[in-house]
A and B are shown apart, each in its own frame.
Chain A
């Protein structure tokens, strides 16, 4: 029972992290019809900037602010100078260009911060465990869950209650119509890009105390993020949220219960050998199934 509770918390923690990444990516795709493979680089930059500021000032709050500000600024600069030219272009051009950006970002980071990984510590007040449902759970991971859910609530309010949110919803539905109605779509694009970049940067910073901050750290999470938005439905914030939770749940559960389950069926050594392999495939199998039967995703944007 306690293992079950802990794994649910683990999967929510992974889920909210994936949501921070996929919210931005799915909006950018939905509104600008733009596929940004460099989204993982913003995650990496957030982690690096946050780690550097945390090491210099010793303040985690300052690190959060710096990571978000730096990635938003970077997002705006890249969008204004380069990516804007590509909105009308073919998806292949977009993929080639942003893949190039991803490689450049990794090398620039390697040049500035060096090839060795950086490590930062968990803020002192969160360095321990809390007791929840009769289960010890790392306080920092629980804080990630709370922070992620706060962002979800904030985004919900932003999108459903504000003028900017209304434009974002309208843009996701029919961008050219919004533009025809006299809305400054260029500004809207930049705003959405900055929002997505800031969320990715926040995600990178939040995970930085748990993993090593190193060049290329954005790629594994970018792949999971792409799975999330395919499952959730492209352009749908709601889809990104549920998709992220589903992927988080399946990935975490597979790592634990796949091996336990296989041990019932096979000999110990066989189960131990194929368990990790199947576990890491499972979310991609799910994505393939979703693509085959519901190509619009499980929670598509409602049109009309």
Chain B
């Protein structure tokens, strides 16, 4: 109730400004927040490229109204992200945001945007807090909840009947969370789990341990460059005959650098470029034509976020000053998602399928992924029950 009052108050304050924009025909400003450079920049670039693809396809409009995308690099720093949000909301009068690449950035800004009466349509990351106890009405995740990405792999491992599974991840919170999520769904004790220092790039000792333990399967979470190193070294150590199950390791951004070494590795995700629906086929074809690379899941999420915003803006005819109407329009999720079915749960996180993808060399000689199983159908995350929203 209190949130609603604040929202209403904030809404009245900014309504004037927005209405003025609509009248003068100025474009609607959308803040795009992501990591745009450095070691952490690759997902952000894919998010941005896919979002702009959707905007450009519509002649610079979303929902029939001209939009201006204000791109901001949050630099992997929560304080920087927080300042950017203040500046955009107070000075530029931005009320609609998208993007967000990393969990700690999302946690730093999501509440502030909501409390000031802004909307966030996130196109990466799904922290447990926002899905559960800390859920807010104006945060919409066009993604998944983090745990689901390892849960789906755990389910798959259990279905395949692997008895001895060896797990490895970097020694930090996300690494431990993903292994924990995997374990819960796998529901059997693991053969062993090893956490490596975050900066460690050479896995010789750990790979020898895996070889000595001769497990039925190995589960890892090594994102980005670590994932490239791990997969190449895994292959060089002659371990390719042991199934390599993973989260965020053998996926779109890493595959070109991993090359043949990734062949046969399986990864859990919500979407792959081989999906057979109209939106997905169009997206993959248009993205490849424009950017000359296979879109990653980061790109797919962001394209979906753009489509979601497009559908909601169309419903309110570009006028987001009526907060309740715009919120309802987003929540309706009345668009054709590239993942097939898409609907929001009570916590504004999607209820969707999760799949297993195998890395292979496609007919154009590129490393790509294809769906081989769908262990989770119409799944909702575990934290939704903790969210008081209806």
Which A residues lie at the B interface, using CB under 8 A? 2-3, 6-7, 10, 13-14, 115-117, 119, 121-122, 127-129, 136-141, 207, 209-212, 214, 220, 252, 255-256, 259, 272, 276, 280
The verdict on B315 contacting chain A, using a C-beta distance below 8 Å, is no
User: Is B56's CB within 8 Å of the partner chain A?
Assistant: no
B236 contact set on A, CB distance < 8 A: 122, 127-129, 138-141, 210
Partner among A116, A211, A272 whose Cβ is within 8 Å of the Cβ of B201: A211
Q: Helix, strand, loop or mixed for chain B's interface?
A: helix
CB neighbours (8 Å) of B37 from chain A are: 115
Looking at B79-87, B108-116, B204-212, B291-299, the stretch in contact with chain A turns out to be B204-212
Cβ-defined contact, B211 with A212, below 8 A: no
Q: Which of A116, A138, A255 contacts B206 (CB 8 A)?
A: A255
Complex Cα distance, B383 from A99, in Å, reads 48
Enumerate the 8 nearest inter-chain pairs by beta-carbon distance, A residue then B residue, closest first: A129-B238, A3-B212, A6-B208, A211-B201, A212-B225, A119-B257, A138-B236, A10-B204
Q: In the complex the two chains form, what is the Cα distance from A88 to B38 in whole Å?
A: 39
Closest to B189 in A: A268
30 A-B Cβ contacts within 8 A? A3-B211, A6-B211, A10-B204, A10-B205, A13-B204, A115-B38, A115-B41, A116-B42, A117-B228, A119-B228, A119-B232, A121-B232, A122-B236, A127-B236, A129-B238, A136-B211, A137-B237, A138-B233, A138-B237, A139-B236, A210-B202, A211-B201, A212-B226, A252-B204, A256-B205, A256-B208, A259-B194, A272-B193, A272-B194, A272-B195
Could you give, for residues 213-256 of chain B, a 1 whenever the CB lies within 8 Å of some chain A CB and a 0 otherwise?
Answer: 00000000000011011001100111000000000000000000
The answer for the CA separation of A272 and B192 in the assembled complex, in Å, is: 10
6 more A-B contacts (CB under 8 A) besides A210-B201, A210-B202?
A: A115-B37, A209-B232, A210-B232, A210-B233, A214-B39, A252-B204
Task: Provide the residues of chain B in CB contact with A255, threshold 8 Å.
Answer: 205-206
Given that A128-B238, A276-B196 are contacting pairs, would A252 and B205 also be in contact in the complex, using a CB cutoff of 8 Å?
A: yes
A135 to chain B, nearest CB (A): 8
What's the least CB distance linking A128 to chain B, in Å? Answer: 7
Query: Which residues of B are interface residues toward A (Cβ below 8 A)?
Result: 37-39, 41-42, 171, 193-197, 199, 201-202, 204-206, 208-209, 211-212, 225-226, 228-229, 232-233, 236-238, 257, 259
**Separation of A122 and B212 alpha carbons in the complex (Å):** 24
A112 to chain B, nearest CB (A): 15
Give the nearest-CB partner of B212 in chain A.
A3
* Complex interface: chain A residues within 8 A of B205 (CB): 7, 10, 252, 255-256
In this complex, what residue of B is CB-closest to A6? B208
Q: How distant is the Cα of A122 from the Cα of B234 in the complex, in angstroms?
A: 13
CB distance from A165 to the nearest CB of B (A): 32
Complex CA distance for A259 and B193, rounded to whole angstroms? 10
Q: How far is the CA of A244 from the CA of B202 in the complex (A)?
A: 17
B233 contact set on A, CB distance < 8 A: 138, 210
Neighbouring A residues of B196 by C-beta, 8 Å: 276
A276 touching B197 in the complex, CB below 8 Å, given contacts A7-B205, A115-B39, A256-B205: yes
Which residue of the partner chain B has the closest CB to A118? B257
| A14 touching B201 in the complex, CB below 8 Å, given contacts A210-B233, A212-B225 | no
Assembly CA distance A115 to B228 (angstroms): 16
**Is the pair A116, B41 in contact by a Cβ cutoff of 8 Å?**
yes
| Most chain A Cβ neighbours within 10 Å, of B39, B193, B205, B233 | B205
B212 touches A280 (CB 8 A): no
With A122-B236, A211-B202 given, is the CB distance from A3 to B39 under 8 Å?
no
Known: A136-B238, A210-B232. A10 touches B41 (CB 8 A): no
B208 near A210: Cβ-Cβ < 8 Å = no
Q: What residues of chain B lie closer than 8 Å to A210, measured between beta carbons?
A: 201-202, 229, 232-233, 236
**B residues near A129, Cβ cutoff 8 Å:** 236-238
**Complex Cα gap A136–B237 (Å):** 8
Q: Is the CB of B208 within 8 A of A116?
A: no
Chain B nearest Cβ from A195, distance in angstroms: 26
A139 and chain B: residue at smallest CB distance:
B236
Chain A residues, Cβ within 8 Å of B194? 259, 272
The answer for the CA separation of A49 and B228 in the assembled complex, in Å, is 20
User: Which single residue of chain B is at the shortest CB-CB distance from A251?
Assistant: B205
Contacting residues, chain A, for B39 (C-beta < 8 A): 115-117, 214
Query: Closest residue of chain A to B208, judged by CB?
Result: A6
A207 close to B202 (CB less than 8 A): yes
Contact residues in B for A141 (Cβ distance below 8 Å)? 204, 236
Q: What's the Cα separation between A301 and B206 when bound, in Å?
A: 36
Flag if A14 contacts B42 (CB, 8 Å). no
> B209 to chain A: which residues have CB within 8 Å?
3, 256
CB pair A212 B212 closer than 8 Å: no
Q: Which listed residue, A7, A115, A117, A121, touches B208 by the CB 8 Å rule?
A: A7
Inside 8 A of B237's CB, which chain A residues have their CB? 129, 136-138
A141 to B237: give the CA distance in the assembly, Å: 9
For B228, what are the chain A residues with a Cβ–Cβ distance below 8 Å? 117, 119, 212
In the assembled complex, how far is the CB of residue B264 from the closest CB belonging to chain A, in whole angstroms? 16
When chains A and B are docked, how far (Å) is the Cα of A211 from the Cα of B199?
11
Q: Which of A115, A141, A212 has the most CB of B within 10 A?
A: A212
A2 and B212 contact, Cβ closer than 8 Å, known pairs A10-B205, A255-B206, A256-B205:
yes
B contact residues around A7 at 8 Å (CB)? 205, 208
Q: Are B197 and A280 in contact (CB under 8 A)?
A: yes
Q: Which residues of A sit under 8 angstroms from B211, Cβ to Cβ?
A: 2-3, 6, 136
Which residue of the partner chain A has the closest CB to B195?
A: A276
How many Å lie between the Cα of A3 and that of B197 in the bound state? 21
Chain B residues with CB under 8 A of A280: 197
